[in-house]
Structures are given as C-alpha cells and as structure tokens.
Structure 1
Amino acid sequence: MHDLIRARQPEGPAHEWAQHVEFRAHRRTIIQRRTAPVRLDVVIGEAALRRPAGSSAMMAKQMRHLADIPGQLPQVTVRVLPFSAGFPGGISLPPFVILGFGETSPGEPVEPPVVYLEAVVGNLYLEKPEDTANYHEAHARLVRAALDEADSRQLLRQVAREYERGL
C-alpha cells in the first residue's frame, strides 16, 4: 500500500504517505469490527487484477486474500467485472465509492449518501441527489454485468495461480 501511495505522489512528504496508509488501514478496521461492521459491496474490473502492482508473489497473495474475504467477513461482497462484460452503461468508469450512513427505523437515511471520487487533482465528493442516484445506477449496472460471487472467487484464485507461475 505504501509503495502505491508513494508512486502516486513521489514528490510528496513522507508524513503524507503515512497518513494515507493510516487512513486506508482505518477503513479496514471499520469493516472488520465485531460490532456494527460496515457493509462493503465491491466490483473489481478484471484489468485491475491483471495489472501488477508489486511482485508476482505479492499479487498472488492479494488475489487469494480477495477470494477469501467474503468467507471471513459475511458483510463483504466481492465480484469481478470480466473483460467479456465490456463497458456496462457504455463507458469506462473511474473508481468510485458510494458512502451510505445508515437508516433510521422508518427507513429514512440518517444522512444523504455521498459519492467519493479519488482523482489526481484531488478528491471529489458528490452530494446532489441526482449525482448519487446516477452512481447508484452505475453500480447496479456493474453488479448485473459482473460475475457472481462464486465465479469471482474462482477467477481470483485462477489469477493467483497465474501469478504464482510467473505469467
């Protein structure tokens, strides 16, 4: 993680790299906590699996970790969008996160959802209802086009074996 963040901003100060790593590690803790863990529904493009971001051994370990997460954390769903799915919705989407903040007992959101986009020029938060609705629909299209959870695990393990063989 540290190497990826440093590669993104090589001229940045080391303390900022550490802050980014700490922030991402904190996200992991709220997903793994025992009391009220956050639900995480991930769709990963196959290109991200096949573009090395480290050694082959590290990539194989990462693929196996992604395949095993749903069995360890039932609130996490991991699906892969295969190359064969093309571009659901007709365009390639940048990575995005839809942040939901829970609901009150009658089903109303505690806070309106926010879409988070990480970009080269800075991070962007979209709060307008029409923007968040568009990203909810984009996510739904990705989920419909992605492999189901079992086939995604199988592909992740296949890619792990490919990295282990040095392909």
Structure 2
Amino acid sequence: MATASGPTVRKRQLGAELRRLRESAGKRIEDVAEHLECSMSKISRVETGQAPIKARDVRDLLAWFGVDDPVQVEAVMQIHKDAQQQGWWAHYEEVLPSGMATYAGLESDAVALRAYEPIFVHGLLQTEDYARAVIAAVRPGEPEEVERLVRFRMQRQDLLSRRPDPLQLWVVVEESALRRPVGGKEVMAAQIKHLIHAAAWPNVTIQVMPTAKGAHAAMAGTFSLLEFSAKAAPTTIVYVDSIAGNVYLEKERDVRKFIQTFDLVRAAGPDPQETPAILENIAREMHKT
C-alpha cells in the first residue's frame, strides 16, 4: 500500500483505506459512528479525507475490522502520521477562503493540472500586481489580508518550477478575460507579457479561446482537473469553484464528464503554438484604446 507525497492526498488515502477495510469487514458507516460514538457525517468526512481522526481511533478501527497483520497495521498508521504534517499553506489558513487550504494541498500534491478559466487569468499564471487587483476587488477594505493572500498566491506558483518534477499545467482562458483591464492598462500589459513568457515554458500550455468562437462545451463555468500519481487515491479530482462554494468531484462518471468537456474545449480552441501571437495582438489592441 503505497503512500502519496503530501498531507492532503495522504488524508484522502487514509480515508479511502479505512473505507475499503470497513466494507471488507461488512460494516456500515452508522456502525462505525456508533462504535466511535460520533456522528455518521464525521465518519463520512474522515473517509473522504475532509476530517481528522485520532491515531488511537485508527488503531481501534483496524482491530475492530479484523486487521491483525502488524505490517498492514503499521502501514496504515504511517499514512496517518504523514497526514498530520502541516503544509506550507497552513501559515495562511486564517485568511484563506473556505476550502482553499484543501485545494492548496491538492494542488501541491498534483503532478498535472488542467483548467478552464472564463473570467480571470489562472492563479498560477498571475503577476503579483494582477493578483493584488483581483483579490482587492473581492476583499475590499482588508489591505493586510489582501497582501497575505497575494503572497500565498505567489508561493503557489513555485509548483511550476518545482524540482525535479514541475507541475504540468494546461490552461484554456477566454479571450474576454484577457481584455478585461484588471488593475488598469499597465497591469494588464505586464500580465499578458508574463503569459507570453510562460507559454514558452516546457511544462506550461496556454490556449486562448477566441470570443468569436461562440458557444462551446465548457461555458458552464470554471473548473480544474487535478491529476495525481498512480500511488494516490483517486488519481484525478475535479475542482469546481463558485461564489456558492467549492465542490470536489471524485466519482468516475463525474471525472470522466469533465475530462471529456476539457478535451472538447481545448480541441475547439486555437493551437497552443498560436498563443504568443494571439496574446501579442491583444496587447497591441489594448494599447491603442
């Protein structure tokens, strides 16, 4: 039973293993809740990696499930130990929007990320000034928190230069998002210049979806596909961000639907090799206005 690389994925792996062992033992979630004297929702959150569980409770469950192989027990306990580690994002948790700490952990553990962005430049590709303008717009009157969130966003970008395995990023961004003068003309000019530079990185692919293309498969809204190594469980998670909250989808049929949607939208867009020319044209037109 291999472990994943970071605490967020390890929490999910621990939960998945406890769920597998529970089912093998013929136990229901309500049985576990009664045994540990807690709510069924708590057990459900533990099994999806969204809630912590004490080491003694893990050992108790393993014994109750009939797991008596000491090697298997210690393997599970090692996953639990690894899951207790704090990620770098813990320093920012008090100012992060609900669910963002979980996303940061997943993003840090991912080997690849595919995203569709209709409104903004993707956070991993934002300049500091662009990020500041975006965050300040949604967090008015909170300058100290804005600066901490800007630093958080800039630190996330270290994933793109991570060694030895930088995050593989493929982003489809709407042309209209690049024509929105976030922060003003100078900020947008610098942002587009940065995108031109980033498009040349070997681990980054950027596509600009022309407004003239009209309707396409991804118009329902922003989403990301986080892909993990084969050691992780699951290997792909869908993240959907909205004002109403953050949603994570892991069921195979849901993941497959979003993979198909992303494949359709990138197939509908221009060849990524055209991206620098498209960005340069947008920059020229914005400069004229």
Q: TM-score range by the shorter chain?
A: 0.7 to 0.9
Offset of 1:74 from its aligned partner? 0.4
* Structure 1 range deviating more: 95-104 or 43-52: 95-104
Offset of 1:6 from its aligned partner? 2.2
> 2:172, 2:182 → 1: CA distance?
18
1:61-101 Cα offsets, whole Å, 9 max, x none, are: 21121122122x20100011111222222x62312111111
> 2:194, 2:139 → 1: CA distance?
26
Determine the structure 1 residue equivalent to 2:239: 116
Determine the structure 1 residue equivalent to 2:208: 80
Residue correspondence of structure 1 range 57-68 to structure 2 within 5 A: 57-68=186-197
Retained in 1: the 8 A contact 2:199–2:275? no
> 2:187, 2:172 → 1: CA distance?
21
Amino acid at match of 2:188: M
Determine the structure 2 residue equivalent to 1:3: 133
Retained in 2: the 8 A contact 1:2–1:18? yes
Is 1:37 matched with 2:137? no
- TM-score w.r.t. the length of structure 2 is 0.51
Give the CA RMSD over aligned residues: 2.0
Retained in 2: the 8 A contact 1:102–1:111? no
1:112-153 Cα offsets, whole Å, 9 max, x none, are: 311112211322222222111111111101110111122221
CA spacing shift, 1:17–1:126, aligned 2, 3 Å: farther
Offset of 1:23 from its aligned partner? 3.3
Amino acid at match of 2:226: L
> 2:284, 2:241 → 1: CA distance?
31
SS of residue paired to 2:260: helix
SS of residue paired to 1:88: coil
Determine the structure 2 residue equivalent to 1:99: 226
| Uncovered stretches (5+) of structure 1, i.e. residues with no partner | none
Aligned residues: 159
| Uncovered stretches (5+) of structure 2, i.e. residues with no partner | 1-130
User: Percentage identity across aligned positions?
Assistant: 31
- TM-score w.r.t. the length of structure 1 is 0.84
User: Of the two structures, which has the highest relative contact order with CA contacts closer than 8 Å and spacing of 6 or more?
Assistant: 1
Bigger CA radius of gyration: 2
> 1:132, 1:24 → 2: CA distance?
26
Is 1:51 matched with 2:180? yes
Determine the structure 1 residue equivalent to 2:151: 22
